[in-house]
Amino acid sequence: MAKIVSNFFISLDGVVERPEQWHFPYFDDEMGAAVGSGVAATTAFLMGRTQYQEWSEFWPNQTGDDMEFASFINAVPKYVLSTTLTGTTWQNSHLISGDPEQVAARLREIKESTDGQIAMSGGATTVRWLLANGLLDELRLLVHPIAVGRGQRLFEDTPTYPLRLVSSETFKSGVLYLTYTPA
């Protein structure tokens, strides 16, 4: 049975929005290894509508330095949660829609019939929904030593979610790599 694992670049003040504007000065070999090991364990990918629309326009056309990840993300099964999309066109992507109970039941079926890790990158709204429905197995945070000050936060105006720290690592850059499971 697979587990759903969410990965975030997150600032010290909880911002997850637009990491491309603050994350790259902290990206080094240690972070690359952490990200790479997560990708290596990924057998499927989960995303919401916004990420699907952005990535399906970008990744199929990549060449050069991005080719290794492009080859991976284009080929891996992708499950897209959306109430507004009517279909998908990106290679190996599958739309999951319906009422929240139907979507949760379908995700449980996918978890049971998949081995390895169903990964997510970003998607704060989706992660909050997964937590609320008991579907998220791990939350992996790369906490950057920067206060961004504004932007969407991972947990903002949400219910309380007790979490249990299962691993932590401090990188030379000051980034903390934290893994939590629901408590």
Quick check: pTM over 0.75? Answer: yes
Q: What is the DSSP letter of 55?
A: H
> Distances from the Cα of 137 to the Cαs of 39, 57, 111, 170, in angstroms?
16, 29, 11, 22
Q: What is the DSSP letter of 153?
A: B
Provide the residue ranges of all domains of the chain, joining segments of one domain with +.
Answer: 3-182
Give the model's pLDDT for residue 172.
96
Give the model's pLDDT for residue 64.
72
Alpha-carbon distance of 79 to 157, in angstroms, equals 27
Give the model's pLDDT for residue 53.
92
Question: Which candidate, 119, 32, 165, 69, places its Cα nearest to that of 23?
Answer: 32
Give the model's pLDDT for residue 92.
93
Give the model's pLDDT for residue 78.
95
State the virtual CA torsion across 44, 50, 56, 62 in degrees, nearest 10.
-100
Task: Return the CATH superfamily for domain 3-182.
Answer: Dihydrofolate Reductase, subunit A (3.40.430.10)
Alpha-carbon distance of 17 to 29, in angstroms, equals 23
Q: Which residues of the chain have pLDDT under 50?
A: none
Give the model's pLDDT for residue 76.
93
Give the model's pLDDT for residue 156.
85
**Bridge partner list, 140:** 7, 179
3-state secondary structure (DSSP) of residue 87: coil
3-class secondary structure per residue, 88-144: CCCCCEEEECCCHHHHHHHHHHHHHHCCCEEEEECCHHHHHHHHHCCCCCEEEEEEE
